[in-house]
Structure 1
C-alpha cells in the first residue's frame, strides 16, 4: 500500500533555531516527538539560500542552475517534471496548503488537486474576507513589512493568524476534502518564520530577549565586499544588541506557534487513523542570519545560518526511529526519496539522491559533500555605489535589501565537507572556512598559503561535481547508432 506523504515546510528557518539542533531556548515539543519517530538529519542543507530557487530545486529534484531558477523572481519552467506531478500520475491526490513560490499559476492547478494558498502576513484562502484575519494582516503590513528589523506583537487573536489558519486548513483537508480511496500528498507550507517578524500572544512574549543566545561578532573585514554591502543596506551597522535580541525572540515565538499548528495536524492524522501509513517530513527552504555575521534575513551568501536547515523524516513503525544521522543531505534529495517511498518512478534527469533505503534501515551510500548555489548573472553592488540607504533598522524608505534584484547579482557555488567549506564566486572572490576549528565561519582562510592544497582539492571536487551534473535534458534521440546495443 502506498503511504500518504505529508511534507511540512517552513520559510526562512535555520536549523539552529531548534532545540533538536542545539538551541537552548526554543520549545517545539511536537517536532521533538516527530524526531523520536524517525530520523533527524544533522547536516541537511538547502541548495540555494532563497525561497523560489530552493523550493523549485526541491520540487524538481534538480539544481537551480539546471532548471534556470537563479533568483526569487523566477519560478519553475512548466516543462519541468515536478514531485506533485509524478505523485498525481502515480495515483495520489495532491494538495498544497500554504505558501507556493515555486509553481507558476498555470502549472499550480495542473499538479495540485486541492490548493489553499497562504501568504506572508495572514492572508489565507477561505479567510481573506474575515475582518479579524484582514486586521491581523494589515497590522503586520503597517508595522513590520518594509524595514529590516521591524518586529512586534500582533494584537490579533492567534486563531485569526496565518499559522493557525493553515494548520486548520490542513486538518480540514484531511477530514473533508481528502479522497479516502487514494493516498494523498500534502505540502503544508508555512510562510513563517519569514518576515514580517511578528506573532500574536501567547507566542510574542514566550521568550525573553535577555535569554536568547547571540551569535559571535563578525567584522566582515576579510569577507567579500558584497557582505559589507548587505550589512550597510539593512542598516545592521546601526542596530544595537537589544534590538537584535528582540527580533530573535519574536522569531522564536513564531517557530513555537508553527510547532503548535503542526501538533494539531499530527493529532488529526491520529484521529483519522492515518498515522501508521503516513510519511512525515519537516524542513525549511533556507535559513535566516538573525544577526549572525552582522546580517539579517536571507542573502547571496553561503554561511550555515543561511543554508543549514532542519530535516526530519519519519514513517512511524516502518522507518528508523530516534536516529540522528550525520550524513550530509541536500533538499534536492527530497523528491527522489519521496518517490521511492511512494513506489513511483524517479524521472530521468533528477539530480538528487534518494535516502529512502537509509530511512528504512537498509544499505545506503551517503554523500561525501554538499553543493549550494546562489546568485544570478551580474556584478555585485560595491560599497562606493551606495547612495540612498536606510538611516536606521526601522527606516521603511528603502525596503529590505534582499528583496532587490541587485542584491543577488554575482553567481557563486559552495562545497561543504565535514571539515571545510569553500565558496567561489564568478568575480574572483573566495571564502574558505575550517569548520572543525571555526564553526561560526569567522576566519576566512581563502588565500592563506597554508591551505592552498585544500583549495585545490575542493576545486577539483567541485569541478567533477559540475561535470557530473550537466543537464541531461532534453534527451538526445537523434543518433541511432549505439555500439553496446549492437553488441548485445
Structure 2
C-alpha cells in the first residue's frame, strides 16, 4: 500500500516576495526558508489572485479566481458548493487541521478542516478566536495591535504612532506574541502526526502584516541605518499614485529614516516567523516525516515597503504588492531549483491534490506546479477595493485595466521594472496592450463582477473551542480589550512607537 504524503501549508500575511535570503535579499535573515528552498522549488514569479487577505485565502483554498468564488472582501464567505483542497483531502480520508489566521466569516467557517485553532487580527474574528481568549485569561491585551487595527481606537494611539507609521516594539512578551503562539500550537498539531501519512496542517501566521511590532529581543535584530533601501523607493509619491497618498497613513511625510525603521521591524517580524518555521520543519525531520511531506510556503499578498513612496497594501497592483513568495518542497525528493515561470496562488490547490493523488471534484483553472507543461504566458489578478482593477501580466509587460478607463496603465517591465512610465497612450504599445486586454476579456467579463457572498450563519466547524455566535458575548469581549488598550495608551510610560 502506498503511503499518502503529508501536507504542510505555511502561510504568512503581507510578506514581500523578495524578503528571503533565497530570493536574493541583501539584509533579511531567513535561514529556515532558505533551507526549505534548498530542498524544493523557489518560484520567483508567483502572484496572488487579489491583494487583500480573505479573497486571496479563498483563492488558495479553492483554486479559483475571486470572480469565480465571490469572496471579494475581508468580510465575505466562501459560497456553498465551492470545493476546497482541504475538503477534497478530508473526503479522501486525510486528517485536516489549521492553526493561526484564517480571516473567515463566520470565524470558524468549515472549509474542510476538522480542527481550527485560530489567532485572528482584523474584524469580529478577534473576539471569537482561541488566541484572544488565551490572552484575556492571562490578563493581557495586544495593545499595539489593537491601536493599529481597530479604527475606534486609532485616535488614542498618540502622535508618535502616526510619525513612525505604527512601527515599534510589541507590548506583549515574546511568549504571548501571535507568531510564537501560532508556532507553538502548530507544533502541537504536528506532534500528533503519525507515520502513516494522510495528514494536512495549514499554519497561517499573522505577521509580517502591520503593525510592524516584533517583541523584544527581536525588535533589536536589525540596525535601520545599515539596511539597503529596496529598489523602487521614490523620494516623493509619483503623480500617478497621488490618490493613495493618505491610505491608512499619510505617506507624503514618509522619510527615508522612517522607512528604514519600518523596514527594520518588518524584517524582524519575518526573522521571528522564520525561526518558528524552522522549529516546525525540524520537528518533522526529527520524527522522520520531512521527506514524506509536501511543504508549501507562501503569503496572501505582498507589501510596498517604500515602493513609489508607499507602505502597506492599499493601492495599485504593482509587483511588490501582487507578487508573493512561493516555495514548494515535494515529497520524496530534495532538489534546489529556481522556477521563473508565471504562476498563481490558484495553482496551490491542484498542486496539493496532485501530490496527494486526489482528484478535484471538478476541473480547476489552476495548474499542477509539478507538471512541466504548467507554464503560462499571462497571469491575472483583480481587485475591487477602490476603483475596480484587473491585471494581466506577461514576463515583460503589465496591463492594469480599471472600470474607469482613464486610470488604465501599461508598463514595459523590461525597460521600466519599477512601473513609473505609463505607456498606455504610446502608439508603439497599442498592439501589446490590446493583446493583454483581449487576454483579460477571455479570462473574465470584468465589467459584470459577481456580488460579494456573505453568510454569517454558514456551517462552522463543530468543535469544543468554537464559541457561540452570540453578539453580546462578542461585544463584551471587544469592550474588555478596548478598555485595556485605552488604559495602556493613556499611561505616561506607554511608548512603543520608535523613530
TM-score, normalised via structure 2 length: 0.80
- 1:337 paired with 2:337, answer no
What is the match of residue 302 of structure 2? 287
In 2, the alpha carbon distance for the partners of 1:246 and 1:229 equals: 25
What is the match of residue 355 of structure 1? 369
User: Which residues of 2 match residues 30-429 of structure 1 at below 5 A?
Assistant: 30-102=32-104, 104-105=106-107, 107-108=109-110, 111-120=112-121, 125=130, 128-130=133-135, 135=140, 137-142=142-147, 146=154, 149-176=165-192, 178=193, 183-214=198-229, 215-217=232-234, 219=236, 221=238, 223=240, 227-233=241-247, 234-315=249-330, 317-318=332-333, 321-357=335-371, 363-375=372-384, 408-428=385-405, 429=407
- Residues 290-311 of structure 1: per-residue CA shift (max 9 Å, x gap): 2212222112421011011100
- Residues 70-122 of structure 1: per-residue CA shift (max 9 Å, x gap): 222223113211111111001111111100114634632x6211211012399
Question: How far 1:218 moved relative to its partner?
Answer: 6.8
What is the match of residue 413 of structure 2? 435
* Closer/same/farther in 2, CA of residues 334 and 133 from structure 1, 3 Å limit: farther
In 1, the alpha carbon distance for the partners of 2:374 and 2:36 equals: 25
In 1, the alpha carbon distance for the partners of 2:410 and 2:148 equals: 39
- 1:453 paired with 2:431, answer yes
In 1, the alpha carbon distance for the partners of 2:359 and 2:147 equals: 47
In 1, the alpha carbon distance for the partners of 2:317 and 2:278 equals: 32
| Secondary structure of 1:348's aligned partner | coil
- Residues 301-345 of structure 1: per-residue CA shift (max 9 Å, x gap): 2101101110000025425x1100111100000000100001111
| Secondary structure of 1:293's aligned partner | coil
The answer to whether the Cα contact below 8 Å between 2:47 and 2:343 also exists between their aligned partners in 1 is: yes
* Closer/same/farther in 2, CA of residues 135 and 455 from structure 1, 3 Å limit: same
Structure 1 unpaired stretches of 5+: 358-362, 376-407, 472-488
The answer to whether the Cα contact below 8 Å between 2:135 and 2:141 also exists between their aligned partners in 1 is: no
| Secondary structure of 2:219's aligned partner | coil
Q: Which moved more, 1:122-131 or 1:445-454?
A: 122-131
The answer to whether the Cα contact below 8 Å between 1:35 and 1:313 also exists between their aligned partners in 2 is: yes
What is the match of residue 389 of structure 1? none
The answer to whether the Cα contact below 8 Å between 1:132 and 1:160 also exists between their aligned partners in 2 is: no
* Closer/same/farther in 2, CA of residues 104 and 347 from structure 1, 3 Å limit: farther
In 1, the alpha carbon distance for the partners of 2:234 and 2:138 equals: 39
TM-score, normalised via structure 1 length: 0.82
| Secondary structure of 1:237's aligned partner | helix
Structure 2 unpaired stretches of 5+: 155-160, 450-499
Q: Which has the higher contact order (CA 8 A, sep 6+)?
A: 2
Aligned-pair Cα RMSD in Å: 2.5
Question: How far 1:201 moved relative to its partner?
Answer: 2.0
In 2, the alpha carbon distance for the partners of 1:182 and 1:27 equals: 32
Number of residue pairs matched by the alignment:
427
Question: How far 1:264 moved relative to its partner?
Answer: 0.6
The answer to whether the Cα contact below 8 Å between 2:89 and 2:353 also exists between their aligned partners in 1 is: yes
* Closer/same/farther in 2, CA of residues 365 and 467 from structure 1, 3 Å limit: farther
